[in-house]
């Protein structure tokens, strides 16, 4: 391996580490300062309640009430492929939104041209932050 190739490899590893720290910073910011109604843990580890189909038929109203927030009702069946899940619409929409967000993040991270532009811009971000040249989301977009 040539010295130039090794330098490029080292530079790529440093860039990857910097990106990881940047993503961690944004995630931390989102968790601390943005209104996030459901945590990542509740999205990935929902509470589950198992019921069978005859129970569902007999106590439909009560069982439908169980599917609130991050509680998922598993309607069991003889064959696992026939099992169904009952969940709250808001919880489902939050799952879909988080999935879209992850896909967008991966799209950005895998777009080499865009990612290179972001890395170039990131070099001046720290300096601009210290000099007070950057604006908050509220200042830029008028959000409260």
pLDDT digits (tens, 9 = 90+) for 32-76: 555 445 566 666 678 889 999 999 999 999 999 999 988 999 999
Instruction: Please tell me which residue, 7 or 78, carries the higher pLDDT value.
Output: 78
- The number of folded domains in the chain is 2
How far separated are the first and last CA of the chain, in Å rounded? Answer: 54
What are 74's strand-pairing partners?
50, 85
Best CA proximity match to 38, nearest among 94, 101, 85: 94
Examine the domain organization and report whether 106 and 131 are in the same domain: yes
Examine the domain organization and report whether 32 and 52 are in the same domain: no
What 8-state DSSP symbol labels residue 81?
G
Examine the domain organization and report whether 80 and 19 are in the same domain: no
On the CB side of 50, CA atoms within 13 Å amount to: 4
Examine the domain organization and report whether 67 and 96 are in the same domain: yes
Q: Tell whether 144 is covered by a domain.
A: no
Provide the residue range defining the domain that includes 119: 37-138
Examine the domain organization and report whether 27 and 69 are in the same domain: no
Q: Give Rg (Cα) of the chain.
A: 23
Examine the domain organization and report whether 86 and 97 are in the same domain: yes
Neighbours of 70 (CB within 10 A): 21
Q: Tell whether 46 is covered by a domain.
A: yes
Neighbours of 91 (CB within 10 A): 20
Examine the domain organization and report whether 42 and 29 are in the same domain: no
Summarize pLDDT for 83-107 with one digit per residue, the tens.
Answer: 999 999 998 888 888 888 888 888 8
Examine the domain organization and report whether 10 and 75 are in the same domain: no
């Amino acid at each position: 391996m040539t010295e130039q190739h090794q330098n490029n490899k080292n530079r790529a590893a440093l860039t990857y580490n910097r990106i990881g720290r940047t993503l961690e910073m944004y995630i931390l910011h989102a968790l601390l300062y943005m209104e996030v109604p459901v945590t990542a843990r509740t999205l990935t580890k929902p509470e589950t309640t198992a019921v069978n189909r005859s129970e569902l038929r007999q106590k439909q109203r009560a069982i439908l009430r169980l599917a609130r927030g991050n509680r998922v009702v598993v309607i069991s069946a003889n064959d696992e492929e026939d099992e169904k899940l009952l969940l709250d619409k808001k919880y489902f929409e939050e799952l879909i939104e988080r999935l879209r967000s992850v896909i967008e993040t991966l799209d950005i991270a895998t777009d080499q041209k865009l990612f290179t532009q972001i890395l170039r811009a990131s070099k001046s971000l720290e300096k601009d932050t210290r000099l007070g040249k950057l604006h908050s989301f509220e200042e830029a977009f008028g959000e409260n």
